[in-house]
Amino acid sequence: MRIGIDAGHGLDGDPGAVGPNGLREADVTLRLAGLLATALEKTGRTVFLVTRDMVSSARAQVALKAGCDAYISLHVNAAGSAEAHGIETWYGYGNDKGEALARSVQVELVKATDATDRGAKNDRTWAPGFDPTWTGGMGALRGFGSGPSALVELLFVSNPAEELLLSDPAYLARAAQAIASGVCLALPNGTPPAPPAPPPGPPLPPLDPFPDVPISMWNGSARGMLLALYKLGAISGYEDGSFKPLQPMTRIEAVALAYKVLHAFGKV
């Protein structure tokens, strides 16, 4: 059995959520991914660590194409209140294999860490904070098709007490072992996933990034320019794979775009 692992965030220096004392989600997930890979390899599984040079939905698609039997995306949670706490694990709506995997991982994590159990949740009504009207589900899950995939939200980095736990190597090692146990219990025989197919509900995101930019925009030229700059490395969009083409750009974002374009051509 081959397990794909995504250390969430990190694209173009994206830190993810940042705790009150400066702990970065991207740093936590990178450490956790290494520990999880070691724990899974000890069970006889092979591991495919997805690189961070692409958006989350593309990472899942790469893992699927690489022949992974299951996929785990690692994250830590954050909230506006410092009181939010606990662990939750997500799966794609309508994906029975993903639900079994998420529930198994959630049970083992709560058992091993004694954290508050926020449950296993499907992504049917999930939307990113910057766009509450989003209907595409979690790209990190939908990109793996109908195969078993789960997204772990390990504690709240916005909670000072849980931020401290997330900075503890011993705690992360215990969590990684628990996730590995959940994977092994849910998928004991290494049965490969069925061919990718859209689950009920919102459709899978397309292979190209930025599904919220219609082909018809500017008679087709908008999407063409966007993808050209994306392949050049000048733009990256949001973590869920969207671009939000009509959202205003700040002055510093304009500077960042100009810098990335010049950097791509070796001018800075």
Note the pLDDT of residue 157: 96
Sequence-distant (≥ 6) Cβ neighbours of residue 221 within 8 angstroms: none
Q: Which residues of the chain have pLDDT under 50?
A: 190-207
- What domains can you pick out in the chain, each with its CATH number? 2-186 (3.40.630.40), 217-264 (no CATH)
Count of C-beta atoms within a 10 Å radius of residue 79: 14
218/194 Cα distance (integer angstroms): 38
**Residue closest to 105 by CA, chosen among 67, 61, 72:** 72
Tokens 């009207």, located at residue: 133
Note the pLDDT of residue 9: 95
**In the chain, how long is the greatest CA-to-CA distance?**
55
186/38 Cα distance (integer angstroms): 18
Note the pLDDT of residue 40: 94
Give every strand in the sheet of 117-122, ordered side by side. 46-49, 2-7, 70-77, 149-156, 87-91, 117-122
Note the pLDDT of residue 207: 41
**pTM here?**
0.71
Amino acid code (one letter) for 92: G
Structure tokens at 209: 């990034």
Note the pLDDT of residue 240: 64
